[in-house]
Amino acid sequence: MKRITRQDVKNVFIILLGCAIGSAGFSFFTYPNDIVSGGLTGVSQIINRLTGLPVGGLTIVMNIPLFFISWKKFGVRFILGSLLGMLASSVFIDLFNSFNIVVTTDMLLAAVYGGIVKGFGWGLVYTTGATGGGSDIAARFLRRKYPYINFGTLSLGLDAMVVIAFAVVFRKYDSAMYTIITMFVSSKVVNLLLYGAMNSSVCYIITNQYQQIADAVNKQLLRGATLLKAQGAYTREDRCVVLCAIKRNQIAELKKVVTDIDAHAFVIVTESHEVFGKNFSDIARQD
């Protein structure tokens, strides 16, 4: 049996704090305004409107078979963390719902600020490697059966089915549209916590003047550059591609540097969630 480490205790605290914050976003913003959640919490919300049974209690009951069949498939640490997240969030939801606190009755404000609060809370939980169970675990099972579909798409599909069901059953089409806003805002906040706000870009520059451009990137943008050996598929000519990572606010400056040297250069700019190394994040600080 693995011993409990200081990091394990820290993760438990983060999970509990994240669940409390995420549940507050649900109970005080979205739930009172009929903005449905995705996953099993959303299913519980539908049943709650039909029967009056508590959302948190229903969520626990529906999660039991998922955790039972996934216990040996996804690792003990993941399951224990997710089980704690599911139980804590369910308890907090029912506790906060009993307060009958409604921060705002403006659905747009509820959707936006509810998304921010929920995203911040669940983002904290996800930083520990745990989840809140429900659709996250279901999506992992589907991922094994359909490995060519990414996890985010499967999770979004499950959430979409719940939102559509809520809209159809209760004729709450406006609520479904506000739910999309909440999910969008929440996902942005989650990504901000998981990946940071570095806003970095990776650039591939295909040019015959590769050495001059690499030198200019080093001297003018103060960024490193790497030369990748490549071959033109049509011409069969050997050449080098300049690879560099820059801050997003340096893209315009990079374009000027490149066009001043080679107006016919071909440049590809892609988003990067994280860049580690000199002048970016220190790898040691990510632990």
Instruction: Tell me which of 164, 195, 226 is where a domain ends.
Output: 195
What DSSP string describes 128-177? TT---STHHHHHHHHHHH-TTS-HHHHHHHHHHHHHHHHHHHHT-HHHHH
Give the model confidence (pLDDT) of 100-146 as tens digits. 999 999 999 999 999 999 999 998 998 888 888 877 788 777 877 78
Domain that holds residue 61: 6-195
If pLDDT is split at 50, 70 and 90, which confidence band does 175 have? very high
Exposure of 159 by Cβ count < 10 A (0-12 exposed, 13-18 middle, 19+ buried)?
A: buried
- Closest to 221 in 3D by CA, of 190, 186, 260, 194: 260
Residue 165 clears pLDDT 60, i.e. is over it: yes
Query: For the chain, what is the domain count?
Result: 2
Exposure on the CB side of residue 44, measured as CA atoms within 13 A: 23
Residues 19 and 160 grouped into a single domain: yes
Number of Cβ within 10 Å of residue 105's Cβ equals: 9
Residues 154 and 253 grouped into a single domain: no
Give the model confidence (pLDDT) of 217-228 as tens digits. 999 888 889 999
Q: Give the rounded distance of the alpha carbon of 32 from its chain centre.
A: 25
What DSSP string describes 62-118? HHHHHHHHHTTTS-HHHHHHHHHHHHHHHHHHHHHHTTT--S---HHHHHHHHHHHH
pLDDT of residue 94: 96
Instruction: Tell me which of 143, 171, 195 is where a domain ends.
Output: 195
Residues 257 and 222 grouped into a single domain: yes
Residue 282 clears pLDDT 60, i.e. is over it: no
Q: Tell me the pLDDT of the chain averaged across its residues.
A: 87
Structure tokens at 92: 């907090």
Q: In what order do the strands lie in the sheet with 266-272?
A: 226-231, 238-247, 200-206, 266-272
Residues 148 and 35 grouped into a single domain: yes
Top mean-pLDDT range of 48-52, 138-142, 276-280: 48-52
Residue 27 clears pLDDT 80, i.e. is over it: yes
Residues 222 and 139 grouped into a single domain: no
If pLDDT is split at 50, 70 and 90, which confidence band does 233 have? confident
pLDDT of residue 285: 41
If pLDDT is split at 50, 70 and 90, which confidence band does 96 have? very high
The reply to whether 1 falls in a domain is no
- Closest to 15 in 3D by CA, of 127, 91, 117, 139: 127
Ramachandran category for residue 229: left, alpha or beta (phi over 0 → left; psi -120 to 50 → alpha): beta
Structure tokens at 139: 């999506």
Residues 172 and 271 grouped into a single domain: no
Integer Cα distance of 183 and 258 in angstroms = 39
Instruction: Tell me which of 166, 195, 224 is where a domain ends.
Output: 195
Partners of 205 in beta bridges? 242, 267
Residues 180 and 211 grouped into a single domain: no
Residues 6+ apart with CB under 8 A from 247: 198, 199, 200, 201
* C-alpha pair distances (Å), 247 with each of 82, 244, 270, 276: 35, 10, 11, 12
pLDDT of residue 150: 63
If pLDDT is split at 50, 70 and 90, which confidence band does 86 have? very high
CB 59 within 8 A of CB 22: no
Q: Look up residue 275 and give its DSSP letter.
A: -
Give the model confidence (pLDDT) of 239-277 as tens digits. 899 999 988 778 888 998 999 999 999 999 987 766 666
pLDDT of residue 209: 93
* C-alpha pair distances (Å), 176 with each of 36, 166, 171: 7, 8, 9
pLDDT of residue 61: 93
> Whole-model pTM?
0.74
